[in-house]
């Protein structure tokens, strides 16, 4: 995991540096002289070779001082605290929705296979995977905010304002989780142990709700970490559309303003989150599957 | 007379089971009748696909109802028709009164729960006991199935046990509640030979200790010779011969039974090819008009091709054949 983090931090660093554009153009007024621009570059370290810049940067990060924004001089630690909290609320809500809605719907579809409920849930799931979420976001705003006027279109951070972005952010995850839950449930329903449990006199509710579901959760839990990555990625778009002041929104703004420190630091934060998600997935997999837990 | 009624734990009368496949129904069990008494082992023998397992599942009420259905007959347990019981009443009987052991112990245990939690769950569904009491019952059941270190094994997952140990766990699961009837469907087929003998031995001891009526399904005549009290030979969904184990091995009458016994390789014979019954089991979709075995029978008469023989005889020996043969050795 550390190696992945190291490589991705290098990649993020280079990508931002190579993206072109001149930081001084964004930070300084157009009337600034070339000498002044050179001096500014030297002050923030842009004149050194890029690998030295990288080491200097990583050193500062590890010391807990990622620096300041070059557009408004705000402390990045402060920015992370503020935007991070908002993002955590939105992402956490979306993550919870993925499983609180996705798993029960998938179980229902598997138990009522080929009924209207199953077909309904599966069509919904296909739609969920097919609709791009920026469009879904606009649709949701149009429907709930402008037509019915029951939910606010944007802003932060009341519960009501959370509903729309959280649902939009969770939507594709829900759709995928429904499908995975359904197929994993159906697969496990044909296992021999189901017959043993029935022969033991357990009710269908116990056999399906406890034993089959527990087995079906193995692949779902193992891919939960990937849902984190997905949510982090989509948060960029969804936070922007709903003006939710999270990390995603701060990052997009920073990139547009060529605010290197902010863009770099927040990109790095997102990368760490995704890597952490994948690592959690591995851990979760061994927790869910005893066959991997004690390999003697 | 009263004695006999009490004695018969399971009585199956004229059981017919249809399977739905590729757009049509056809019978795989065709008017089967048999009974299992307490404190005896009845072996149901026959080749693959003759309907043994599906008969066992129908007694448990565990037929996969989307493809298989009982279309006729009754299955009496202590005089009560199991086919007429509600789903929850049937559930109460399972493993408490009628238990079943399955063929493959590797896939028959839920892999994500410890065997202790599986055992105590089944015990507590049927008995109103606390968790420590249920745990003690589970240990007793595992010890009775001769699983070494029973108490420590409660915390093991199925994948941590060998095939033979898992089958002991299955025996413990099936006998923990002292059922009256135990159905074992090929309980040793998936195990290697040395373990087979131990498991069979243990099953028979359990059966004697608890005076269970046991229906043992197998295609292995060595197993039959070792444990059976009575034997029912099944062919293409029907019982063709039923007799005590002694009589069946000494004086088999049905040509199919004779063929089966003749097919056992003789280790004293130095050379020569293995004996086999010529031909194949008729496909259940197009049953022959006469005796099911006629197309493969060397002794078939005219009438064998035209009409079906009935299962005749009483008590000890029953036979479904127009032209039984004395065994020529």
**B113: chain A residues, CB-CB within 8 Å:** 211, 214
What string of H, E and C letters represents the secondary structure of B98-114?
EEEECCCCCCCCCCCCC
Q: Are residues A241 and A184 in the same domain?
A: yes
CA within 13 Å, CB half, B4: 4
Residue A209 lies in a domain: yes
Rounded distance between C-alpha atoms, residue A195 and residue B95, angstroms = 12
Residue A135 lies in a domain: yes
Residue A164 lies in a domain: yes
Q: How many domains does chain B have?
A: 1
Among residues A62, A85, A106, the one where a domain terminates is A62
**B121: chain A residues, CB-CB within 8 Å:** 200, 202, 206
Residue A241 lies in a domain: yes
- Quote the percentage of chain A above a pLDDT of 70: 95
Closest residue by Cα to residue B29 from B11, B8, B53: B53
CB contact under 8 A, A290 and B111: yes
Q: Are residues A95 and A230 in the same domain?
A: yes
CA within 13 Å, CB half, A218: 17
Rounded distance between C-alpha atoms, residue A279 and residue A244, angstroms = 27
Residue A69 lies in a domain: no
What would the pLDDT profile of B231-264 be if each residue is shown by its tens digit?
Answer: 999 998 899 999 999 999 988 888 899 888 888 8
CATH number of the domain enclosing A110: 1.10.3720.10
Minimal Cα–Cα distance from B173 to chain A, Å? 8
Q: Are residues A58 and A184 in the same domain?
A: no
Asked if A114 is an interface residue toward chain B (Cβ–Cβ < 8 A), one would say: no
Closest residue by Cα to residue B327 from B234, B276, B261: B261
CATH number of the domain enclosing B209: 3.40.50.300
Residue A207 lies in a domain: yes
Q: Which domain holds residue A28?
A: 2-62
Residue B269's pLDDT band (cuts 50, 70, 90): low
Q: Are residues A224 and A273 in the same domain?
A: yes
Contact A180, A219 (CB under 8 A): yes
pLDDT of residue A282: 76
Residue B303 lies in a domain: no
Q: Are residues A142 and A248 in the same domain?
A: yes
Contact A163, A171 (CB under 8 A): no
| ipTM value | 0.87
Q: Are residues A90 and A214 in the same domain?
A: yes
Sign of CA dihedral B138, B143, B146, B147: positive
Q: Are residues A282 and A150 in the same domain?
A: yes
Q: Are residues A12 and A129 in the same domain?
A: no
Closest residue by Cα to residue B172 from B203, B193, B200, B195: B203
pLDDT of residue B156: 92
Cα–Cα separations (whole angstroms), residue A15 to A69, A108, A271:
18, 45, 13
Among residues A17, A35, A62, the one where a domain terminates is A62
pLDDT of residue A63: 79
pLDDT, average across residues B65-89: 90
Residue B191 lies in a domain: yes
Rounded distance between C-alpha atoms, residue B21 and residue B285, angstroms = 10
Residue A57 lies in a domain: yes
Q: Which domain holds residue B211?
A: 2-110+180-228
Supply the DSSP symbol for A146: I
Among residues A13, A37, A62, the one where a domain terminates is A62
Q: Are residues A96 and A48 in the same domain?
A: no
* DSSP string across A193-225: HHHHHHHTT--HHHIIIIIIHHHHHHHHHHTHH
First to last CA, chain A: 24
Rounded distance between C-alpha atoms, residue B235 and residue B293, angstroms = 8
Residue B246 lies in a domain: no
- The backbone region for B78, taken as left when phi is positive above 0, alpha when psi lies in -120 to 50, beta otherwise, is left
Q: How many domains does chain A have?
A: 2
What would the pLDDT profile of B103-115 be if each residue is shown by its tens digit?
Answer: 888 889 999 999 9
Residue B164 lies in a domain: no
Residue B297 lies in a domain: no
Contact A164, A241 (CB under 8 A): no
What would the pLDDT profile of B202-237 be if each residue is shown by its tens digit?
Answer: 899 989 998 999 999 998 888 899 899 999 999 988
Minimal Cα–Cα distance from A194 to chain B, Å? 8
Minimal Cα–Cα distance from B8 to chain A, Å? 22
Residue A67 lies in a domain: no
pLDDT of residue A180: 93
Rounded distance between C-alpha atoms, residue B209 and residue B133, angstroms = 22
**A215: chain B residues, CB-CB within 8 Å:** 110-112
pLDDT of residue B4: 45
pLDDT of residue A3: 84
- Report the 10 Å Cβ neighbour count for A173: 26
Q: Are residues A53 and A90 in the same domain?
A: no
Cα–Cα separations (whole angstroms), residue B323 to B175, B293, B305:
43, 12, 12
Minimal Cα–Cα distance from A66 to chain B, Å? 45
Tokens representing B249 are 């091995």
CB contact under 8 A, A215 and B112: yes
- Report the 10 Å Cβ neighbour count for A114: 9
**B92: chain A residues, CB-CB within 8 Å:** 201
Supply the DSSP symbol for B309: P
Q: Which residue has the higher pLDDT, A20 or B298?
A: B298
Interface of B with A (CB under 8 A): 60, 62, 88, 91-96, 99-100, 102, 104, 107-113, 121-122, 125-126, 157, 159-160, 170, 173-174
Q: Are residues A27 and A123 in the same domain?
A: no
Residue A20's pLDDT band (cuts 50, 70, 90): low
Of B88, B111, B173, Cβ closest to residue A200: B173
Residue B279 lies in a domain: no
H or E segment to which residue B313 belongs: strand B312-314
pLDDT of residue B22: 81
Rounded distance between C-alpha atoms, residue B85 and residue B2, angstroms = 24
Nearest residue of A to residue B175, measured between CA atoms? A200
Please enumerate in sequence order all residues whose Cβ is within 8 A of that of B154, keeping only pairs 6 or more positions apart, or say none. B114, B115, B116, B119, B135, B138, B139, B142
Q: Are residues A254 and A140 in the same domain?
A: yes
Residue B266 lies in a domain: no
């Amino acid at each position: 995991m550390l190696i992945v983090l190291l490589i991705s931090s290098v990649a993020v660093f280079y990508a931002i540096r190579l993206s072109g554009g001149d930081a001084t153009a964004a930070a300084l007024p157009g009337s600034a002289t070339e000498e002044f621009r050179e001096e500014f570059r030297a002050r923030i370290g842009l004149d050194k070779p890029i690998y030295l810049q990288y080491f200097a940067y990583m050193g500062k990060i590890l010391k807990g001082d990622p620096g300041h924004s070059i557009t408004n001089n705000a402390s990045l630690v402060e920015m992370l605290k503020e935007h991070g909290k908002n993002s955590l609320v939105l992402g956490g809500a979306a993550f919870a929705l993925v499983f609180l809605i996705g798993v029960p719907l998938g179980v229902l579809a598997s138990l009522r296979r080929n009924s209207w409920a199953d077909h309904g849930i599966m069509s919904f799931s296909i739609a969920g995977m097919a609709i791009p979420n920026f469009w879904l976001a606009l649709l949701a705003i149009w429907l709930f905010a402008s037509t019915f006027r029951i939910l606010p279109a944007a802003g932060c951070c009341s519960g009501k304002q959370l509903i729309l972005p959280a649902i939009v952010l969770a939507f594709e995850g829900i759709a995928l989780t429904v499908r995975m839950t359904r197929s994993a449930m159906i697969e496990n329903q044909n296992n021999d142990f189901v017959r043993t449990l029935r022969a033991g006199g357990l009710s269908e509710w116990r056999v399906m709700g406890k034993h089959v579901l527990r087995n079906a959760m193995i692949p779902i839990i193992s891919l939960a970490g990937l849902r984190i990555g997905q949510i982090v990625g989509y948060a960029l778009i969804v936070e922007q559309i709903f003006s939710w002041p999270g990390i995603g929104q701060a990052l997009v703004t920073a990139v547009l303003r060529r605010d290197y420190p902010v863009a770099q630091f927040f990109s790095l934060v997102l990368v760490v989150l995704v890597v952490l998600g994948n690592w959690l997935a591995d851990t979760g997999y061994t927790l869910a599957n005893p066959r991997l837990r004690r390999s003697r | 007379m009263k004695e006999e009624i009490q004695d018969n734990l399971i009585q199956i009368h004229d059981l017919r089971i249809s399977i739905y496949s590729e757009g049509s129904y056809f019978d795989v069990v065709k008017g089967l009748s048999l009974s299992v008494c307490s404190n005896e082992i009845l072996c149901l023998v026959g080749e693959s696909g003759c309907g043994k397992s599906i008969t066992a599942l129908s007694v448990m009420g565990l037929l996969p109802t989307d493809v298989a259905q009982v279309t006729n007959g009754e299955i009496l347990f202590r005089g009560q028709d199991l086919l007429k019981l509600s789903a929850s009443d049937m559930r109460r009987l399972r493993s408490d009164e009628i238990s079943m052991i399955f063929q493959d112990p590797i896939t028959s245990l839920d892999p994500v729960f410890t065997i202790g939690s599986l055992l105590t769950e089944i015990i507590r569904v049927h008995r109103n006991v606390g968790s420590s009491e249920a745990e003690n019952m589970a240990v007793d059941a595992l010890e009775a199935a001769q699983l070494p270190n029973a108490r420590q094994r409660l915390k093991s997952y199925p994948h941590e046990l060998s095939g033979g140990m898992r089958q002991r766990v299955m025996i413990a699961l099936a006998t923990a509640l002292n059922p009256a009837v135990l159905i074992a469907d090929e309980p040793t087929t998936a195990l290697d030979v040395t373990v087979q003998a131990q498991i069979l031995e243990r099953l028979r001891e359990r059966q004697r200790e608890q005076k269970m009526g046991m229906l043992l399904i197998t295609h292995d005549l060595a197993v039959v010779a070792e444990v059976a009290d009575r034997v029912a030979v099944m062919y293409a969904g029907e019982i063709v011969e039923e007799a005590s184990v002694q009589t069946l091995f000494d004086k088999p009458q049905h040509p199919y039974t004779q063929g089966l016994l003749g097919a056992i390789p003789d280790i004293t014979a130095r050379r020569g090819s293995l004996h086999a019954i010529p031909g194949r089991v008729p496909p259940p979709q197009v049953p022959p008009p006469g005796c099911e075995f006629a197309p493969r029978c060397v002794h078939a008469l005219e009438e064998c091709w035209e009409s079906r023989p009935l299962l005749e005889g009483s008590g000890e020996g029953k036979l479904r054949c127009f032209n039984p043969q004395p065994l020529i050795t």
